[in-house]
Amino acid sequence: MSLVRITQQQLNERIQKHVMFRVARMGGARAILAYHDLTRLDLSGHDLSHADFTGALLCYADLHDTKLDYATLFGADLRFANMQNASLVRADMRGVCMRGAILANADMTGVDLREGMMSRSDGTYIVPGETELVQGGSGVADLSGANLSQARLSGAVANNCDFRDATMRGCHIVRANLQGVNMSGVNLEGADFSMCDVKGANLTGAILMNVTTTMTRLHEAIIKDALTDEARGPTIKDLPLPITEYMNVHRAWLSSDGKKGRRFEVDRFDLRKAPSFAHSFLSMMRGQETLLYGLDFSFVQMQAADMRGADLRHVNFSGADIRGSDFAGANLSNANLQGIRMQPLELTGGRLMVTSLARASLRFANLSSSNLSSVDFTGADLTGANFLGSEISSAVFTNAKLTGARMTAAQRKIVSGSEGTGL
């Protein structure tokens, strides 16, 4: 089937009409770009939700920050396309080829990446089945930090692809070819990982809680330090008091300057089964190397806390106040830190206690709309982190890794002056 080639100007006109269609304006029209050649064209930053790209050629196309929710990309060729930070919620991507495509930090919630076939009117197939994230030659798809929750990847070919720190909760990945894939730090909680070929796959530090692995030979993969359903250290049952009572005793300790109650100390505990900590008062708590994966700390008061080395992956810290706390070496990858307060804590006598995230991992963390002034990010891994709308004046980024971080030009200038790398 021959493809229709259009110019950038013609594409822009189609996009403009689609934008009008999305808001129900007169003259709007859905973008039907099925079987079009869009090689190297720019579609970035637009809302193309529900557009039709069936069988389209999008090689090397620029789709970064593009909204493609519920779009049809059935059988599309996305080789080496830039789709970083794109939104593909529930998009139909069956039978696509994404060799060399960049989908880092993309939102692919509920996307359909199963094998698929396109047929002629006479019933013969023109595009063979598998979804190809890699296909011969050089180049593999980069889905690091992507959100693939509830996505369907049955039968997909993804050998050697990069899924580092991707969120794949509840994913259906049956019969997929995952040989040599990098899934270090990936979140597979509740996923069906059955009958997959994982020979040589790297699952170091992966979250494998409540995962179905029927007929998958996990022993052929590297699963060092993976987080499973097995407890790591003492649990909530081993605390000196029921956790709610313990927090009340801690609050009494705070209000009495340590004369009553006792400090909330949970070093090296596995508290994954703890209730929500939202709106709690946990200032000066101590949780060194504590496992707190996935818990809710929204709007918590946690000033001057000692959280060095804690596992806080996928934690919700939105709206929290952690001024003056020490999170050095902690793992906050994929954490929600939107609107958090991290500026220095003012003490008596005009002294200041700076918030430390030195050597911490904040890969793909959401730090948007936050006060991060004077925070110590020395040596931190901030790959793919979102800083948009945040105050970062006087923050220290010496030797911090910032590859793919989302920042304004003004923010990048501040970071470059602080010797951050990867911008």
Q: How many domains does the chain have?
A: 1
Using alpha carbons, list the distances in angstroms from residue 82 to 2, 147, 409: 24, 16, 20
For residue 79, being part of any structural domain is answered with: no
The answer on pLDDT for 279 being more than 60 is: yes
Q: Which amino acid is at 83?
A: M
Q: How far from the centroid of its chain's Cα atoms is residue 336's Cα?
A: 10
Q: Which pLDDT score is estimated for 134?
A: 47
Q: How far from the centroid of its chain's Cα atoms is residue 311's Cα?
A: 16
Buried b / exposed e over 304-316, threshold 16 CB at 10 Å, is bbbbbbbbbbbbb
Q: Is 280 exposed, middle or buried (0-12, 13-18, 19+ CB in 10 A)?
A: buried
For residue 397, being part of any structural domain is answered with: yes
**Whose CA is closest to 392, among 373, 376, 415?**
373
Q: Which pLDDT score is estimated for 157?
A: 85
Q: Which residue has 């997909």 as its token pair?
A: 156
Average pLDDT value for the chain: 92
Q: Which pLDDT score is estimated for 419?
A: 63
Eight-state DSSP code of residue 5: E
| Average pLDDT value for residue range 274-281 | 97
For residue 268, being part of any structural domain is answered with: yes
CA–CA gap between residue 388 and residue 105 (Å, rounded): 14
For residue 321, being part of any structural domain is answered with: yes
Global pTM value = 0.90
Q: Band of the pLDDT at 133, cuts 50, 70, 90? A: low
CA–CA gap between residue 329 and residue 365 (Å, rounded): 15
Q: Which residue has 């296909």 as its token pair?
A: 135
Phi, psi of 410 (to 5 degrees): -65, -40
Q: Which pLDDT score is estimated for 132?
A: 52
Q: Which amino acid is at 246?
A: Y
Q: Which pLDDT score is estimated for 417?
A: 72
CA–CA gap between residue 49 and residue 31 (Å, rounded): 9
For residue 255, being part of any structural domain is answered with: yes
Cβ atoms 78, 98 nearer than 8 A: yes
Residue 325, domain extent: 239-423
Q: Which pLDDT score is estimated for 159?
A: 85
For residue 285, being part of any structural domain is answered with: yes
For residue 337, being part of any structural domain is answered with: yes
Phi, psi of 187 (to 5 degrees): -100, 105
| Average pLDDT value for residue range 6-33 | 96
For residue 15, being part of any structural domain is answered with: no
Write out pLDDT tens, residues 149-173.
Answer: 999 998 888 888 999 999 999 999 9
Write out pLDDT tens, residues 84-127.
Answer: 999 999 999 998 989 899 999 999 999 999 875 433 333 333 44
CA–CA gap between residue 391 and residue 270 (Å, rounded): 33
CA–CA gap between residue 133 and residue 275 (Å, rounded): 39
